[in-house]
Each structure stands twice: as C-alpha cells, then as structure tokens.
A and B are shown apart, each in its own frame.
Chain A
Amino acid sequence: MNALIMWGLTIWVPILLCVLNINEAKFKKNLAVGVTFPLKGRADPEVLGLLRGFKREQIVLCLALVALGALCLILCWPELRFLPYFLWLDLVIVAQFVSYARWNGKLKAVKRAKGWTVPTVRAASVTVPAAPAKRPSLWWFIAAAAVGLVPAAFDRALWYMYLLDGATAFACYFGSRYLYRNRAEAVDENDAVTQALTRVRRRAWDQVWVLCAWMMAVISICIFMSTRLPSGGGAMMLATVVLALAVCAVAIALEFRVRRVQEKLTASSGEGFYVDEDDKWIWGQIYYDPNDSRTVVNNRTGANSTVNLARPGGKALLAFSLALLFIAMPVMGVCFDSMGGGPDLVIEDGALVAASWGKDYVLPLEDIASAEIIDALPKNGVRVMGIGMDSFLKGRFKFDGVDATLCLDPRTGPWLKVTMADGTLYLLGGGESGAEAVFAQMKG
C-alpha cells in the first residue's frame, strides 16, 4: 500500500518535467531551450531540427523514466518501500537536467556558428518600473492566517498545527514580495510589450501566493474537522490532499498561461535590438552573474524564480537544495524503510517507555489506570495525525469515535492496551516489541 501511495505521489514528476521541457522548445521571449535567437533564427532549418530532436528525446526519456517508476512498484521489495522511489526521483531530476543542458549546448553551438551572438549588455527598463504596480493587499494574507488560527481556540491539543498553518499562510506574503525580483520583463525596446509581460508575470506570481495562503487556512480547518467528525477523519484528510493537488494544478495552469502570453506577445520580437543574456545562464538553467547584486532572480520564461549562483546566498540555497535532493531524500528513504516491526517496550525509571525513534512515549507507571494484552486491534481506525504505514502506526487515531494514541506494528500482535488515569488510551507494541514481557513486568 505504501509503495502504491509513493508511486501515485511521484509518477507525475517526469511527466510534468517532460511537458515543461517540451514547452521550452516553443519560442518565447526569443528563447528556446534556454538559447536566445534572432527572429530569422526561429525559421532556420538546423535550429528547428534540433528543437524537434530535443522534443523527441524528452518524450523517450519520460517514457523510460515512467517505466522505471512502474518497475519500482512491480518489484516493490518488502523491505524497500520508499528508498527506490526517492532514488528514482533523483534520477528523474538529473536525467532531465542533463538532457536539457546537452541540447542547450548544441543550440548554442549553432548560434555561434551562424554568427547570431550579440554583445552582452544588461537591459533595464526606465519607464516600466516607474509605473506603480498593483500588488495583493497584506490583508489577504492576514485574513488567511486568522482563519487558519481559528481552530486553535476550539482544539488546544493540536494548537501547534494550527499555529504552523496560520504562520505559513502569513509567510506567503513575504514569499510573494521577496522571492520575486521586481524587474521589467524586457525583451526588446517595445515598452508596451515589456509592460504587458511584466504585469502578466507579476499577477500570476501573486495569485499563486494568495492561493497558497488560503490553502493553508483551509488545511487548518480540515485538520480541525478531522478531529471532530466521528468517522469523517479519512474524508477530511482526503479533502486536504485534493485541495493541495488542486492548488498545484492551478499553479501549473498559471505557469502555462504566462508562457502562452510570453509566446504570443514576443512572436515578432528579435529584430533590431533584443535582450540576450545567454552567457549568464550556465547550461541555460543556472544563473551566474557576479555583476548582479540580486540573489533572487526571475526565471527567463514562465513565472517562477531562481537564484543567482554568483551571490553567497545563491550558493547556500543551491547547496541546501542539492543536499535535500541527494542526501536528505535517500536518507529519509532508508529511515522510512527501517521503520516497522513495532517499538521497543521497556520499563525504565518507573515509566513505561515505547521507543522507535528516540523515546516516543513515556508513561509514568503511577499514572496508568489499567493495562491489558489484546490479540486484535479495534476495527474502523482512522488516522487523525501521525504516521500510517503498513508496518508502523504512530500518533493520534480514532476507533469508532474513540481517541487513541498508537505506537505499534499492526501486522502481528499481541499489543498492550494502556488506559491512563485521565482516560487517555494507548495501544502499543506488536511485532517483536516484547509487549507480553512488559505486561508481566507491570503486573509483577
């Protein structure tokens, strides 16, 4: 089941990257696959042939990667449910990056050979930044944060979750302001086009951040509802996932809308003076300009942002992203795969300790009202908050409306059912946890 979920969550990545890359082969802002061409270059047979080759390679690569992903699912080893997917995800990113860089190099070589390289200057509009830009009000974000915080007043147990959601909703304001470089989208000397391109990009960027802020607010409400409805927790969790997917879909749709507008507005650009910053983009994908004082810069096409690798902040951000992708993700895979088999149950310093990763739960013996060994877990369990793997359940769950905290291997019993003096119910053990031995110790 876990492998299937991982497959469902990751299989769309190569497809999306493929579609984005194929879109890169369409001329927009005089660019195709990260290379700037003059207007006459767009009709050049050699350039068009290379672009067709690039598109073909993207499709073949995507099919191969999807097949490899499916193979991970088919072969889903009992002990390796996560690691293959994380490694596969890394492979997807590297393969598509390398392919893009390769074709970018080929197109640059043609550009050089045809003499279409122009002296690099930084083009900066004087007229467009002078016009006041309409940005979304701070109140949109404050309202989203407030809505996200409302459940905290009714459910104190999960206050930190609501606070996190509210704070993230508010942080979206700073994302919209500071992860965007307020720069005119100059392609040539046509001010009207520059103005339109700038407005469209900025609008899409702001819309995504406002959407994210409200998504966090609604997720907070969903979490609250999932703790309140007796059997609707699963549905609410599903609603949260659907909502997150819907926001992703809207963000992707906005990205493609911006690209379409860029393509349309610059269809006849590339004659006379046109902006060419190819030598500042390594492999057409990594921005490196020591003369640019800004760390966050806009991507050349679409509405996204990237970093300037020549700035210390840019280097740090890239190093962090690489570490996340190529170190943290595989390590996470190994950790997830090593989970399972139930926690270790021990009596230590007058307390019952359930330990899987560190001491998960420490229950003082004097606070335990009753304990019993059970051979079957209650039915109709719904996860409220925590980990729900095939071989490991941990966190808050509901069984027919009854709250319980779990730390157990659900595959094999017996399990230890502990009721605290305040009525809190714990289900612990399973697998090789030694639940029976601990129970005997508690009775003795």
Chain B
Amino acid sequence: MLLKLDFGSDQPIYVQIRNQIVLGIAQGQLRPGERLPTIRALAEECGINMMTASKAYQLLRQEGYITTDRRAGTVVASGKTAAGPQPETVEGLRLRLGELRLAGLSEEEALDLCRKLYEEGTK
C-alpha cells in the first residue's frame, strides 16, 4: 500500500498518514494482523521526522486501528474497533452530509453515494 503525502497541504502529515492507513484498512489494502513498518522505517520511507511518524502511530493506536506488540511489532488490529465510531467521525459525517444537501443532492442520492463509497471498503 502506498501513502501519498502532500507537503503543500494544510493537513498535518501525521493526520495524512493516519487517514490513509485507516482508509487502507477499510478498503482491505491492509489486513488485520498485517505488519506495519517500525517508526524509524516509516520516517525513513517518508522522509519525515521520527516524532511525526510516532504521532501518527500513537493516534492510530489510541483509536484502536493498530496494536503494538514487543515481538510482532506494529500490526493492524483485528476486527472492529472496540470504541465504535469516534465523536469526531460522527461530526465529520454530519458536516459532509450537510455539504451534500447544500450541493443539491436528494436524500436518496446522498445515501446512494454513501453506499457506493462504503462498498469500496468491503470489496
């Protein structure tokens, strides 16, 4: 799986890494139990500071997407995240749905779009 980092973006790099790894897990590019690079290797790969890589992993760990084991290293967590959707995720979804409504999409059209995007992650 490739991370595509945009250094010109307003979004911090650690958030970009976090988002793309979450998307990778959701779309099946990263499978449960799959090993992720160490913080040092990820920093070397992306050409970023180790603190930035560490911050991204810390966030993913807190949200339950990855686990760190002394023997296995950092791996993709198995199954659903225990905590369920984060409040920020629900808020974000609310905002995006509002934007779709303002863009002129009907409820049916918005749900169709959501269904399509959701299915991309279950293929």
Q: Which residues of A contact B (CB under 8 A)?
A: 119-127, 129-131, 181-184, 186, 188-189, 191, 273, 289, 291-294
Contact = CB atoms under 8 A, between A and B. Distances in A.
26 contacts: A122-B6, A122-B7, A122-B46, A124-B2, A124-B5, A124-B42, A125-B3, A125-B45, A126-B1, A126-B2, A126-B24, A126-B36, A126-B42, A127-B30, A127-B34, A129-B37, A129-B45, A130-B41, A131-B35, A182-B44, A183-B44, A188-B2, A189-B2, A191-B1, A289-B47, A293-B49
Contacts of B30: 126-127
Contacts of A122: 4-7, 46-47
B48 interface: yes
Contacts of A131: 35
Contacts of A289: 47
Given A124-B2, A125-B2, A126-B37, A291 B44 contact: no
Interface centre among B24, B34, B47 (most CB of A within 10 A): B47
B80 to A, nearest CB: 21
Interface in B1-51: 1-8, 21, 24, 30, 34-37, 41-49
B69 to A, nearest CB: 14
B45 to A, nearest CB: 5
Interface centre among B5, B21, B42, B46 (most CB of A within 10 A): B46
Given A129-B37, A293-B49, 13 more contacts: A125-B45, A127-B1, A127-B30, A130-B37, A130-B73, A183-B45, A186-B2, A189-B1, A273-B2, A273-B4, A292-B47, A293-B43, A294-B47
Interface string B70-93: 000100000000000000000000
A191 to B, nearest CB: 7
B26 to A, nearest CB: 14
A119 B7 CA distance: 11
A121 B46 CA distance: 11
Contacts of A189: 1-2
A182 B41 contact: yes
What is the interface residue range for chain B against chain A?
Answer: 20 to 34
Interface centre among A120, A122, A126 (most CB of B within 10 A): A126
Would you call the interface of chain A mostly helix, strand, loop, or mixed?
loop
B76 to A, nearest CB: 10
A291 B16 CA distance: 15
Would you call the interface of chain B mostly helix, strand, loop, or mixed?
mixed
Given A130-B41, A182-B41, A123 B3 contact: yes
Contacts, number: 76
A440 to B, nearest CB: 71
A120 B8 CA distance: 9
Nearest to B13: A291
A181 B30 CA distance: 24
Contacts of B49: 293
A126 B37 CA distance: 6
A124 B7 CA distance: 13
B4 A123 contact: yes
B28 to A, nearest CB: 13
Contacts of A125: 1-3, 45
Contacts of A186: 2
Nearest to A133: B41
A216 B5 CA distance: 42
Nearest to B35: A130
B53 to A, nearest CB: 10
A252 B54 CA distance: 39
Nearest to B6: A121
A158 to B, nearest CB: 41
Nearest to B20: A126
Contacts of A182: 41, 44-45
A181 B46 CA distance: 11
Nearest to B44: A182
A73 to B, nearest CB: 46
B48 A293 contact: yes
